[in-house]
Amino acid sequence: MSSTYPLFVKRDIDGFFGLFVDNIVQLLLILGLCSGLCGMTGEHSNLLFRYIFPGAAVSILIGNVFYAWQAHRLARRTGRSDITALPYGINTPSLLVYVFFVMLPVYLETQDPVAAWKLGLIACLGSGVIELIGAIFAGTIRRYTPRAALLSTLAGIAIGFIAMTFTLQIFFKPLIAMPPLGVLLLALFARSKFPLGLPGGLVAVLIGTATAWVLTLVVGQFPQAPEWLTINAMSASAVSEQFERVGLYLPVFVGGEIADTLKDWSSWLGFLSVIIPMGLFNIIGSMQNIESAEASGDSFHTGSSMAINGIGTIVAALFGSCFPTTIYIGHPGWKELGARAGYSTLNGIVVTALCFSGLIGLASAVVPIEAGVAIVLWIGIIITAQSFQATPNAHAPAVAMGLFPAIAAWGATVMSGAFLVSGGTTMQDVLAGNSAAEVNGFLIEGLLTLERGYIFTCMILAALAANLIDRRFVSSSLWAAVGAVLTFLGLMHAYQLQGNVLDYWLISQVPPESARVFPATGIAIGYAAISLVCLLASFWQKDDSDSSLNSASEDAPPTDSIHE
């Protein structure tokens, strides 16, 4: 290890709280969804505490330790002391997709939580294999993809799925969440120092937790307290209930169960329409996060960084977890916090300890999530800012263009959830009556088509725009052609809808008779038309020596850079 790059620095504590909150939210989401939807309660809750949580912990520990080592290696090679390790944890989109489109359908058909768990293992294993193979090609894809295309996608996700999501939590429980928000604003925007040199993240979590329990005591003294006060209270009974789950849960190898399930190919073959798109999305997402780290000044090797994603996910499946792990969005945010490599190692150790001991529920019962969400909100803000700051000024319109599909995807997610809890008319009913139906002026079908494969759509539109800004017409034509092919195959825009359940529709797939199918053929033709227009433009447009068109990279860091 480099003498100028210590194992741990004080600001790693802030970084740890941000990453830990992110990870604990995913673990609690797994607990809620698997127990509530897939029957993993009572005697079957052992699937969660004996297999899924320990398996996830092994994967998280492997990834966190590797990325910390990788940061030390880069620090030693460059002689720098400001390297920040890549953040790592459970992949949220894969978590939701595998629960709703793999595990839940199996459980509803069989009423067997074990069968749902085994198919979840196959999905996780498949994702890991796809990511590991993708690591071979990811470096080449990065070299030929404009930075604006990679970073704008992350910014769109940061605005909707990170910053907006956690902002809603802050203002839903303001008495707990807003004091920590104030502390974080002081620490991170104003760079204020706190007594005893305490990190701002630690102060924020302590204040939020203390406030929550003081409010709990106050509410306990006033049974008729108003709702705006009671919603901020914690539950003492929940703390005592979670003590019952405490025990030793060491990882268990489940390769035999996976092998037996794989032999029955008819049980899992149909789920490839879910597994393949998610595996490809994870490849693109990880590649974008590595580019984001480089834009912050930390250039990590693409192949090895992504290979550990695949390896970690495969290990998760082999030890009982149904949920892929991945490089997290948000490296520039953790770098701004001052975190180095220690935050990653500490996160891996703490998450592993909680999972191996069954303390996941107890931690959530004692420390309110709202006490730490301001840190994650900060991460979203920094990601969004970086997408404009780390790209050529002339490419700003391309970055903006790439935001729209991800924001539309967030809107579609919110809309779908609203229909699910309404208990009345479904989205399928509405669209069957009128395909041009709107919600407050927004086309329902438009939101759904942009939501499907939005990671690809963001990148393709931004890359198309960036190349046009640089007057690279042939490159623009190729990106539009990629959009046409992916759309035709069903990896972008195409969907099938049953009630309120939105799923992918691939060209080779035979949809259920009751489903509404949108094959997106017209959109594929539209991309092909754009490709043709750009190709023709390469013949009739004369070269323009205007530096504002041809030297876009002169006013910002270059798009292509040397990777480690």
- Quote the CA–CA distance of 168 and 505 in Å, as a whole number: 32
Question: Is 493 exposed, middle or buried, given 0-12, 13-18 or 19+ CB atoms closer than 10 A?
Answer: buried
Tell me the pLDDT tens digit for each residue of 181-234. 999 888 878 878 888 777 777 788 889 999 999 999 888 888 788 888 888 888
The β-bridge relationship of strands 88-90 and 325-327 is antiparallel
At 552, is the pLDDT very low, low, confident or very high (cuts 50, 70, 90)? very low
Q: Is 197 left (phi over 0), alpha (psi -120 to 50) or beta?
A: left
| In the predicted structure, residue 147 carries a pLDDT above the cut 90 | no
Q: Is 423 left (phi over 0), alpha (psi -120 to 50) or beta?
A: left
Tell me the pLDDT tens digit for each residue of 323-333. 999 998 778 88
Amino acid present at 52:
I
- Quote the CA–CA distance of 101 and 261 in Å, as a whole number: 18
User: Which neighbouring-strand residues pair with 327?
Assistant: 88
Where helices occur in 327-395 by DSSP H, the ranges are: 331-337, 342-357, 360-366, 373-389
Q: Which of 4-18, 89-103, 190-204 has the highest mean pLDDT?
A: 4-18
CB of 398 within 8 A of CB of 230?
Answer: no
Tell me the pLDDT tens digit for each residue of 233-288. 888 888 887 788 889 999 999 999 999 999 988 788 878 867 887 788 788 888 88
- Tell me the angle at which helices 147-157 and 454-469 cross, rounded to the nearest 10 degrees: 140
- Quote the CA–CA distance of 309 and 313 in Å, as a whole number: 6
Question: Dihedral (C-alpha) 359, 365, 366, 368: value to the nearest 10 degrees?
Answer: 120
| In the predicted structure, residue 561 carries a pLDDT above the cut 60 | no
What is the sign, positive or negative, of the torsion defined by CA atoms of 140, 142, 143, 146? positive
- Quote the CA–CA distance of 489 and 484 in Å, as a whole number: 9
CB of 154 within 8 A of CB of 455?
Answer: no
- Quote the CA–CA distance of 47 and 446 in Å, as a whole number: 39
CA 66 from centre of chain = 20
Q: Token pair for residue 114?
A: 């074990």
Q: Write down how long the chain is.
A: 564
Q: Token pair for residue 467?
A: 């190349």
CB of 448 within 8 A of CB of 484?
Answer: no
Choice among 210-224, 380-394, 536-550 with the minimum mean pLDDT: 536-550
Tell me the pLDDT tens digit for each residue of 26-41. 887 788 789 888 999 8
Q: Token pair for residue 81?
A: 């002391």
- Quote the CA–CA distance of 363 and 510 in Å, as a whole number: 45
Q: What is the CA radius of gyration of the chain?
A: 24
Tell me the pLDDT tens digit for each residue of 312-321. 999 999 999 9
